[in-house]
Amino acid sequence: MSPKELSYIEDALGHETFLKTQCQEAIQNLQDTELKSCVEKISQQHKQIFDNFYNLV
C-alpha cells in the first residue's frame, strides 16, 4: 500500500472516530428514546466502518 493510500485510510479513520464521538455525545443528551435508538444504530455503523478501514492496514 502506498503512503498516499495509507494517508487516505488514516483520514477515514479520523473521520469515523469523530462521527462516532459526535453520536455518543448526542446519545448522552437525547431524551427521545426513538431518536436515541436511531443515533445508537448510526454510532454502531460508524464503529463498523472504522473497523473495516482499520482491518485494511
Q: Please give the average per-residue pLDDT across 16-35, as a whole number.
A: 97
Cα–Cα dist 47/57, whole Å: 16
* Measured CA angle at 7 (ends 57, 1), to 5 deg: 45
Q: How far apart are CA 52 and CA 5, in angstroms?
A: 15
Count up the domains in the chain and report the number: 1
pLDDT in tens, 3-21: 999 899 999 999 999 999 9
Confidence of residue 38 (pLDDT cuts 50, 70, 90): very high
Task: Please tell me the pTM assigned to this model.
Answer: 0.85
Residue written as grid cell 492496514: 57
Task: Tell me the residue range of the domain where 30 lies.
Answer: 3-55
pLDDT at 56: 83
Residue in the structure block whose three cell numbers are 498516499: 4
| Nearest-angstrom CA–CA distance, 50 and 55 | 9
Count CB atoms within 10 A of the CB of residue 10: 12
- Which pLDDT value is given to residue 45? 97
Average pLDDT, the chain: 95
